[in-house]
Amino acid sequence: MALGRGLGDILSEVEEAYQKDLSDINSFELESKGAHLEEVLVSEINPNPFQPRKHFDEKSLEELATSIKVHGLLQPIVVVKKENKYILIAGERRLRAHKLSNLNTIKAIIADISMDEIKLRELALIENIQRENLNAIELANSYKELIDIHAITHDDLSDIVHKSRSQITNTMRLLSLSPYVQKQLVLEKITQGHAKTLIGLSHEKQKIILDSIMGQKLSVRDTEKIIKNHKSNSKVLNNNKDILLIEKYKKEFDEALPFTYKLKMKSIEISLTNEKDIVDFLNFIKKPKKV
């Protein structure tokens, strides 16, 4: 497996401090582990270019900004130094909230770690996955990116991010949904349970049912019933098409078959009621073909 050092290894020396309240952080202990706490200019911090999280709830950010103004920052962000700037590793919401509050500086744990592009990408993905900061679509894309970049299996990824294989597989199946459905899921117009029921339907049918879910505020169970009925109706429709197709050739069958028969969905049932019928049928199928 080509996967480099993930969050568990790269931030092992600062993870314990990161989980603590600022007042509980032991600076000497932190420095002994290759990191230190510092007040950093917000303007000098660049986001991780490989941050998989794309959607941030504005109302939630405003609430966090207000809380930071009133109570201060309770947990520091984590950054690494690169040239004369810093790259954010953990704490995107806190950094954004500081910017909303027009605060010039932010408390940050600066990890003394060498970072290349691959590690930055891995760290952004794994940090968000392990902290469960991603919506379902971002999470699915993160799983896919790690699997594609490193050519690993779902089982390998399960060991890395500490999620079950079935959870990874089921989450990635959401990427087969139409862009319209994915967008509504990200916007929390529907739940992941709703989205899963739409997998396997055409994009057109997904939109029709999704609009019904949102318009009528349907539960997941109600949605499952609608889709079950849709699939049943589709099956009947397809069966009817098959019957119509075979019925189209009824005249030819009448001329070619000297037997009592019934046309079925995708077959013909020939009635052989006695030995003579059997012999006649065998002679019929053995009849030499005209060249």
* Residue 106 bridge partners (DSSP): 40
CB-facing half-sphere around the CA of 11: CA atoms within 13 A: 25
Q: Kindly indicate the confidence band of residue 6, based on its pLDDT and cuts at 50, 70 and 90.
A: very low
- Nearest Cα to 110, choosing from 245, 189, 11? 11
pTM of the model as a whole = 0.53
Top-confidence residue, 44 or 117: 44
Q: For residue 290, what are its two tokens?
A: 């005209």
Would you name the residues annotated as active-site residues? 92
Q: Per-residue pLDDT tens for 149-205?
A: 778 889 888 887 778 899 899 999 999 999 999 999 988 899 999 999 999 888 988
The whole-chain average pLDDT of the chain stands at: 75
For the domain bounded by 7-131, which CATH number is listed?
Answer: 3.90.1530.10
Q: Out of 1.10.10.2830, 2.60.40.10, 3.40.50.450, 1.10.3720.10, select the CATH number for domain 177-242.
A: 1.10.10.2830
The backbone torsions φ and ψ at residue 143, rounded to the nearest 5 degrees and listed phi first, read -60, -45
Q: Is 75 left (phi over 0), alpha (psi -120 to 50) or beta?
A: beta
Per-residue pLDDT, 185: 92
For the chain, the structural domain boundaries read: 7-131, 177-242, 249-285
DSSP for 173-217, please give it: GGGGS-HHHHHHHHTTSS-HHHHHHHTTS-HHHHHHHHHHHHHHT
Q: Per-residue pLDDT tens for 193-245?
A: 999 999 988 898 899 888 888 888 888 998 888 888 776 665 544 555 555 56
